[in-house]
A and B are shown apart, each in its own frame.
Chain A
């Protein structure tokens, strides 16, 4: 196995005919779809094989991709412009608003026209019984698009990768599966695939992770429609170690997603007993927690996500902090596709064309960390939480362009805007004046 130092990097001539994609989730499918489209556009022949052992067309844990399953407004619109319209069979609920809950009150934040611009989906299998009856998972839908474009899917688990005579050789259970000119690592952080790339010695390390808690609550669809309408319920509570929690309606299920640095097997049970949660989900509802898990969540990025003929994307590379992982999968998958089709597959090509996008997400997450720190201060202070609620409430009577804090919270929690832009908005004096007004108003009430 050769370790290629940066001094030895040489440009590998085009065309690269066989590309092996490890992982058939959104990053792998987006990469394959766009690479094949772009290759057709410039008349290049590329052969793409996606290695994914999971069957996303089946429900239950076998095909589950353990995710909150929210497609942001920006991604829904971007995909529509790209000609990828999310069909009714994939979308579980169209979302037009968020309801923000705190220990001191709740507030409703919506799109000005109440247009449903956010989609809730099941990434993979999801709870048993949800696939079929004209419904399919998002990952299956995307994979099908990639296959329609010409990619090939092989349900094989790749467990080893080696470099031999300038080619990448892929193995499964000690048998050689294929040779490829390029390997795209598009697996998640819950997969064991990361280890085979760390052992290749080009400097890749698996990204740092924290645990998230995800649970599926089952109740009659009619009850969910009455309780939730077309809103996602978001909880900003003063609990240490939990950044935020969300109840995401999806047909006859509600996905509970709790994100933070101290999430364990007791988190879901404790959360459901919180008085503010019981105002949304009273015990009289008789809902069932049909499944729950503690999947890992990427909160950082490896320093060296590529070398000659190897590139890592999606969760195996970098993703957006705490949200819009699917948006990041789209950005990274497409950035790799552009580099591979229009530039090449050498370290230099990835450094020049892919790295700026990769670094952009990494840097944007720095602004995200600052914003979450500010939000931590708000949610742990009764006065600041009340001031925030008061400001958002009063903004709902203003025009769409005059709802600064509501827009900041909407963009933060829907993943609609880059953290950097949200941060810049949060520096506007108008927002601080409104907040101080809210603080004085809360103190007055007190």
Chain B
């Protein structure tokens, strides 16, 4: 922590507060990033990645409910804490002080509204009974293209031999042929860690595996159900166009519905194989 920094230092992965805890403090990020995570049935979801100047933890102060999510430092971060009692005493003297907090909260509600309406459309598309795995993956990419500007994309699913295989793709043709083992390349690493990644200069990342199309930036999110990762969605750019934190957040949200849709399609395919086999045996017996 630099001498001129204010607040308290948190190292990468340090928990600032946990979901369910009583909230007595609001926080303001002085430097670094903080991830807001929420536990769900399909595992942990990153709701937002906040940066310098952002406030968080204010909801529990105003609605007196337990913390709605967990805040974790992403990299080294310095955070200034604001005590509830002191904050409310100051607000009682000067109610206009909450203008900025209200502005932040209404911006977040507005963003959530937009995201919800986008996700509702995506959900409707993805959760339509689609029985074909490749077709479902294609549909996922179409939805991803609508919400995130990217030049290339692919959906890779884990085969029975634990290899990531491309089921649908757009953009650079070379990716069509790529197969990755668990832990191999960035997608393979996301498959093993279950954590999404945003890289705006992939060439400096030791995990990056070169293909014939040179890519500059990449977004990668896991497809998972019950904490078991079974595939990844990749989006990449070959030009200088960079991805934003907002893009990563959107891809994460999309990945939640995409996981359900792919899992449904995979289950249907398995069920169909089993049914076919039973039918064949029945025919043979008769």
Contacts and interface: CB of A to CB of B under 8 A. Distances in A.
B66 interface: no
Tell which of A76, A77, A86, A334 has the most Cβ of chain B within 10 Å. A77
Interface in B2-29: 2-8, 26, 28
A199 interface: no
B40 interface: no
Interface in B214-246: none
Contact of B100 (A83, A114, A119): A83
A92 interface: yes
B182 interface: no
Interface residues of A, number: 31
B166 interface: no
B80 A117 contact: yes
Interface in A47-82: 74, 76-78, 80-82
Contacts of A114: 8
B226 to A, nearest CB: 38
Given A77-B80, A81-B100, A115 B4 contact: no
A117 B83 CA distance: 12
B7 A115 contact: yes
A438 to B, nearest CB: 28
Contact of B86 (A34, A74, A225): A74
Interface string B79-112: 0111100110010001011111100000000000
Contacts of B200: none
Contact of B2 (A37, A88, A338): A88
B82 A91 contact: no
B30 interface: yes
B52 interface: yes
B55 interface: yes
B75 interface: no
Contact of B4 (A81, A92, A117, A334): A92
A116 interface: yes
B28 to A, nearest CB: 4
A38 interface: yes
Given A80-B80, A81-B55, A94 B4 contact: yes
Contacts of B82: 77, 80-81
Contacts of A82: 97, 100
Contact of A85 (B3, B53, B99): B53
A320 interface: no
B5 A116 contact: yes
Contact of A81 (B3, B30, B101): B101
A80 B29 CA distance: 9
Given A38-B96, A81-B28, A76 B80 contact: yes
B31 to A, nearest CB: 8
Nearest to B31: A88
Given A94-B4, A114-B8, A116-B7, 13 more contacts: A34-B96, A38-B99, A41-B99, A77-B87, A78-B90, A80-B80, A81-B26, A81-B97, A88-B5, A92-B4, A115-B81, A116-B5, A251-B3
